[in-house]
Amino acid sequence: MLRFDIITIFPDFFGSVFDYGIVKRARAAGLIEIGVHDLRRWTSDRHRTVDDRPFGGGDGMVMKPEPIFAAVEELTGARSSRELPEGTRVILLSPQGRQLTQRIAAELAANAQRLIVICGRYEGVDERVAQALATDELSIGDYVLSGGEPAAVILVDAVTRLLPGALGSETSATHESFSAGVLDHPHYTRPADFRGMRVPEVLLSGHHARIASWRRKEALRKTLRNRPDLLARAPLSEEDRRLLEE
Ligand code: ADE
């Protein structure tokens, strides 16, 4: 069982977003639990203040450390990352984090029992959260969102589908995009001719070895075209290099 606790100033944002597909099934099957917590619950002033002006000046507001530390302390008993129970990770979502990858999602799915997810807002979060409370600062990509909430949804989805049993027996995450450092191959279904666009003949041939070879070639080609950065690091066989030359 993996429990997610999402700390946010917009708890309503999450509405029914976790009630679909694999995440819904994983919840129903007891593989995961998701708690959403309003950060303002851990404020003590009349205005329930969660942000303040930046030391050193500048635009925008910064999220205050006190409510965030109080929230994590109530949820985990820990006053800092060093006191967290084994298997509990505190994830700060921010554009300054390490980029979330399939490898990191798999590592979390394999090792974590509890993920406390902090959604930042405003121009940033007081750095003492990243320094002393979070075990991981993660970004979902090189673009700036108006807050960590959409990133939290993505983190929950990417990690949940990698939990044993989440995908069901018919599918597995081991053969898909990124697991081997290369993008997935193209997929086709009926009709074989759609508005004159024909499904590649080899897929209709029933020749399994040729189909496998075609899929590998197309996966490599698409990776070369769309993600040359991935291909440069992918472990390629002699056969892969030959397919790319074709
Ligand atoms: N908050 C704002 N932008 C973000 C990003 N790219 N990833 C994670 N959290 C964010």
Identity at 126, one-letter amino acid code: D
Ligand 1 lining (C-beta closer than 6 Å): 93-95, 120, 139-141, 143-145, 147-148, 151
Express each pLDDT in 39-82 by its tens digit: 999 999 999 999 999 999 999 999 999 999 999 999 999 999 99
Place 244 in a pLDDT band, splitting at 50, 70 and 90: very high
Mean pLDDT of 79-107: 98
Percent of the chain at pLDDT above 70? Answer: 97
176-245 shares the fold of 2-160: no
d(CA 167, ligand 1 centre) in Å: 27
The interface predicted TM-score of the complex, written ipTM, equals 0.98
pLDDT for position 63: 98
- Is the predicted pLDDT of residue 175 greater than 80, yes or no? no
pLDDT for position 169: 59
Mutation test residue for ligand 1: of 96, 125, 129, 145, the one with most atoms within 8 Å of CB:
145
Determine which residue's CA is closest to atom 9 belonging to ligand 1: 94
- Please answer whether residues 8 and 119 qualify as being in contact, where contact means their C-beta atoms are separated by less than 8 angstroms: yes
- Is the predicted pLDDT of residue 104 greater than 90, yes or no? yes
- Please answer whether residues 123 and 60 qualify as being in contact, where contact means their C-beta atoms are separated by less than 8 angstroms: yes
Q: Give the residue extent of every domain in the chain.
A: 2-160, 176-245
Mean pLDDT of 214-235: 97
d(CA 49, ligand 1 centre) in Å: 22
- Is the predicted pLDDT of residue 177 greater than 80, yes or no? no
User: In CATH, what number does 176-245 get?
Assistant: 1.10.1270.20
| Closest residue by Cα to residue 4 from 97, 78, 89 | 89
Mean pLDDT of 150-168: 96
Mean per-residue pLDDT of the chain: 96
- Rounded CA gap, 179 and 155, in Å? 17
- Is the predicted pLDDT of residue 171 greater than 70, yes or no? no
pLDDT for position 227: 97
Element spanning 112, H or E: none
CATH superfamily of 2-160: SPOUT methyltransferase, trefoil knot domain (3.40.1280.10)
pLDDT for position 206: 98
- Is the predicted pLDDT of residue 133 greater than 70, yes or no? yes
- Is the predicted pLDDT of residue 170 greater than 60, yes or no? no
Mean pLDDT of 157-182: 82
d(CA 187, ligand 1 centre) in Å: 31
Mutation test residue for ligand 1: of 144, 149, 154, 156, the one with most atoms within 8 Å of CB:
144
Determine which residue's CA is closest to atom 4 belonging to ligand 1: 95
Between the alpha carbon of residue 216 and those of residues 181, 189, 206, the distances in Å are 12, 18, 16
Which residues define the annotated binding site for S-adenosyl-L-methionine? 120, 140-145
